[in-house]
Amino acid sequence: MYRWLLCWRYLRTRWIALASVVSVTLGVATLIIVNSVMDGFSAEMQQKMHGILSDIVIEGHSAAGIPNPQWYESEIRKTLGDDVVGVTTVVHVPAMGSFQFRGQTITRQINIIGIDTKTYADVSDFRRFLSHPENQRLLSFDLREDGYGAGREDFPASGWVHRKRWGAIQKALEQERLLREEYEAKLKKENAIPMPALGGAGADSTDPAALANAAPSIGAQAMAGPSIGASAGVAGAGQLFDAEKEQHAGIVLGIGICSVRGTKPDGSIGDFFYVRPGDDIQVGLLSASSPPRILSEKFTIVDVYESKMSEYDSTFAFVPIEKLQQMRGMIDPSTGMKSVSSIQIKLRDNADLDAARDLLQAQFPSDMMIQVSTWKDLQGPLLAAVKMETTILNILLFLIIAVAGFGILATFFMIVVEKTRDIGVLKSLGAPSSGVATIFLGYGLLLGAVGAGVGTVGGLLFVYYINEIADLLEVMTGGEVFDPRIYYFERIPTIVDPTSIVMVMCGAILIAVMASVLPAFRAARLHPVEALRYE
Amino acid sequence: MSKTSPRVQPRRSDSIGTDFSKDASLFQPHANGEFSTMKMDSPSAVSISRTHGKTQGGISPDSVIMSAKNLTKTYRTGKVQVPVLKGVDFVAERNRLTAIIGQSGSGKSTLLHLLGTLDQPDGGEVYFDGRRIDNLPRRQRDQFRNQTLGMIFQFYHLLPELTTLENVMVPSLIGHGMFKYFSVRRKLRDRAAELLDWVGLGHRLKHRPNELSGGEMQRTAIARALMAEPRILLADEPTGNLDPETGHGILELLKKLNQQQQMTIIMVTHDEAIARSADCCIRLQSGKVQQVHQQAA
């Protein structure tokens, strides 16, 4: 009984010992904060990755793709049974997108993904990242009138509202250009003096519209499809395609493709849009034929999506699968059979993805030029990197606590020296050596518990208010603590894992107890007479 | 003792001054553990007259409670060996106040430590109540110190983190396990409070040692020594660190304990006056017994 009474009293009266567990406290708190934030990050990341990727992807490596996907689908359903929630087919191909902005051409390297609007939603949460509320319910590749960017103040006017205005301007410019050409031709005819500089200079410096019109003609050379650019030099071609009333095939762009994220003059983070729903984008891609040819076609942006995974947002563009199959020549002209590049499968929640993958792998061996992977396999390196970071941070921080253990060891030795006489008294009053040792072990236990407890509470509070703390730090230092441009999260995500907290606490307490073993042993071995004589 | 602590409650001081039988339960030995067989036979059997002066050779074996034979002890400081006790014989009689006197370095404290099993002799034997104790296993020696022995030190040696009351309770806390303690804690607390009251510190139960005077600390130490109902008290210069007046008060308290409660006391001192007032005085010099003086009461 005296042991616990004394530990308790030592704990309450020796403040210096509490100072020695401050490092334990800090270590525990840091571990909890780091783990929570890392867990939050990786969970958020996984959620986002998974949001666009389906559970299992069967990818064909041949440029021509996987023929007869219906057979595969029935095989998949046979193999996996009730676990399958949805199956969809996808065509994807690397591509180059280019669009006009203020007379300049901007090109972006993108991944064109042809999706089946009816079934794609079964396998992916893709829709909820779209900016138009209607599209979030049911994706349509037809441009909508208005209402894009719901809930976003900085979203520019888009949709038909924008396209009509833009189309009218294009038409007017086109007309003016035609008038000028007519006039120039007349001039040439009349005085036959060559004036090469006039038209060129006009186009370069004074007439941005001419520039805007000139660039799309690159595309016009490569393709036969109707476009504004295609009308160059052909009088009255504007009537073929009326941008005010018509649209090309729809395309959904990642927000990173059509905008840049930056700090506005007032300091807030915002997107600056080069193009927006309603604008056109020129897409160049490879055909499925052999040898591959370069195809180029105009698409009308019908929506943008923001999954907040910068990798996806800056490369993925979605188009209707039929359009892509048709463009690339993936439809067998004789049979009408359509090929796809991959088949995506969604399984029911909690299904064992790895087991399903292994089953499918057995079903479709690699010599079919087919690869079966789970979404985690596809993002493996990134997930593994995050996991390794977490592990290494955990080890490092636990070393901090271990270092704190040596602090406790030193302090405890001091306390044992300071308490030598008391130990002598206890022994002379009949306390056994084991009892004396227990006092110091118990003291270490209590100190560890206090340190770990305070650290846990502090760490949890920090995690709970982490965004407020980040804001406060930003105000105090003026610097950016958490930059949403980098992470695509508005707030720092955190997940508190009770198991890891318990483990961290136990580890810290264990270290404190282990650090007190040596001093306790020394205290137990003190000779009572010498201890009493000690002054 | 009411002189030294005037704030003692009147009822209590009355009882102290007049009738100890009331408080007899405080000092009644009870059966406890290993040494229960060594208990005094009965109060009447104990009343061996201490009024007859005796030479050491004439002590009847029945009246001997603690004795030592040919004790030797050598301390080693580095390579130098310092013989402290060179064959000391010692006998303490039941219910008497035995003083050990000698100059510093004469080995008197070492002798007391050996008697109290705090240290083990290099040679010789120590007996308590006819039973050899110096070679008992460590656990049993711990238990012996806890339950049969009361210790008083020159520097009081109270635990600074505990209150007066808790300090007094320490021997019982050590003697009882956690569960046993919780079942008897009220009784222990009451007994500790009564003891403190008896030594005149009834009003100081909640004070820390650093709030007490030297005399008060020594009284607390005496109360602590009595807590486990010991059969013998060992005091190592109990007045050595006190001014004469306070020391006198402490001595009076010990004498009262000896006379009224029949408590056997072995006291180390270097004060001739104190030694003279003891029933028996053993003089040590250079690690040897120089003289044994039996006092006629």
Q: What is the pLDDT of residues B57-76, one digit of tens each?
A: 556 777 888 888 888 888 88
Tokens of B179: 């569960």
Neighbours of B12 (CB within 10 A): 17
Is residue A299 within 8 Å of residue A280, measured between CB atoms? yes
A430–B161: do the CB atoms touch at under 8 Å? no
Same domain, A313 and A210: yes
Number of domains chain A is built from: 2
Q: What angle do CA A107, A110, A113 make, to 5 degrees?
A: 140
Cα distances from B255 to residues A296, B4, B102, in angstroms, run 117, 15, 20
Does A474 map to a domain?
A: yes
**Rounded-to-10 torsion of CA A309, A310, A314, A317:** 0
- Do A257 and A397 fall within a single domain? no
Which of B149, B159, B178 has its CB closest to that of A1?
Answer: B178
Decide if B146 and A433 are in contact by the 8 Å CB cutoff: no
Looking at the fold, whether A11 and A97 belong to one and the same domain comes out as no
* Residue A85 counted as domain residue: no
Q: Is residue A281 part of a domain?
A: yes
Task: Say what the alpha-carbon torsion angle B202, B243, A424, A432 is, to the nearest 10 degrees.
Answer: -40
Which amino acid is located at B270 in the chain? Answer: H
CA distances from B271 to A483, B101, B236 (A): 82, 7, 12
Identify the bridge partners of residue A343 per DSSP, sorted by sequence position.
Answer: A58, A89
CB contacts, 8 Å: A524 with chain B: none
| Buried residues in A440-473 as b, exposed as e (16+ CB within 10 A) | bbbbbbbbbbbbbebbbebbbebbeebeebeeee
Instruction: Determine the pLDDT at residue A66.
Output: 83
Last residue of a domain, one of A305, A336, A367: A336
Window 124-163 of B: residues touching A by CB (8 A cutoff) are: 138-139, 142-147, 149, 151, 153, 157-162
Q: What is the pLDDT of residue A535?
A: 57
The DSSP annotation for A111-127 comes to EEEEE-TTTHHHH--GG
Residues 6+ apart with CB under 8 A from A220: A227, A229, A230, A232
Closest CB from A13, A430, A529 relative to B175: A430
d(CA A114, CA A98): 18
Query: A307 and A388: one domain?
Result: no
Per the CB < 8 Å rule, is A5 touching B162? Answer: yes
pTM of the model: 0.67
Q: Average pLDDT, stretch B24-39?
A: 42
Q: Reduced to 3 states, what is the DSSP secondary structure of residue A7?
A: helix
Domain termination site, one of A301, A336, A371: A336
What pLDDT is stored for residue A126 in this prediction?
A: 76
Cα–Cα distance, A148 to B130 (Å, whole number)? 104
- Which residue segment(s) compose the domain that A217 sits in? 93-336
Give Cα B264 to chain centroid, integer Å. 8
Q: Report the residue of B118, B147, B154 to disrupt the A interface, i.e. the one with the largest count of A CBs within 10 Å.
A: B118
Question: Which member of B147, B157, B170 has the closest CB to residue A2?
Answer: B170
Q: Where are the strands (E) in B174-245, listed by range?
A: 232-236
The answer to whether residues B164 and B205 touch, using CB atoms and an 8 Å cutoff, is yes
Query: Do residue A257 and residue A168 come from a single domain?
Result: yes
Helix (H) or strand (E) holding A468: helix A466-477
Contact: B146, A431; criterion CB under 8 Å: yes
Same-domain pairing of A42 and A117: no
Query: Strand, coil or helix: what is A9?
Result: helix
If asked whether residues A320 and A389 sit together in one domain, one would say no
Contact B118 A532 (CB under 8 A): yes
Residue A181 has which token pair?
A: 């050409």
Same-domain check for residues A43 and A99: no
Regarding whether A413 and A301 lie in a shared domain, the answer is no
Flag whether A357 is in a domain. Answer: no
* A260 lies in the same domain as A166: yes
Q: Are residues A98 and A20 in the same domain?
A: no
Residues of chain A falling short of pLDDT 50: 199-208, 210-212, 214-238
Given strand B80-93, what is the order of strands in its sheet? B80-93, B64-77, B123-128, B131-132
Q: What is the DSSP letter of A205?
A: I
Is A164 among the domain residues? Answer: yes
Answer yes or no: is the ipTM higher than 0.85: no
Closest CB to B161 among A10, A429, A528: A10
pLDDT (0 to 100) of residue A193: 60
Most confident of A207-211, B123-127, B287-291: B123-127
* CB spacing of A1 vs B176 below 8 angstroms: yes
pLDDT at B1 over 60: no
Give B160's contacts in chain A (Cβ within 8 Å). 422
B177·A1 Cβ contact <8 A: yes
Residues of chain B in contact with residue A527, where contact means CB-CB under 8 angstroms, are: 119
A336, A363, A391 — which closes off a domain?
A336
A391 and A329 in one domain?
no
Q: Is residue A343 part of a domain?
A: no
The SS3 call for residue B148 is: coil
pLDDT at A180: 93
Residue A327 in domain: yes
Which residue in chain B has the smallest CA separation from A422?
Answer: B159
For residue A344, is it within any domain? no
For residue B91 the two structure tokens come to 């006998």
Q: Which residues of A touch B153 (CB under 8 A)?
A: 425, 428, 532
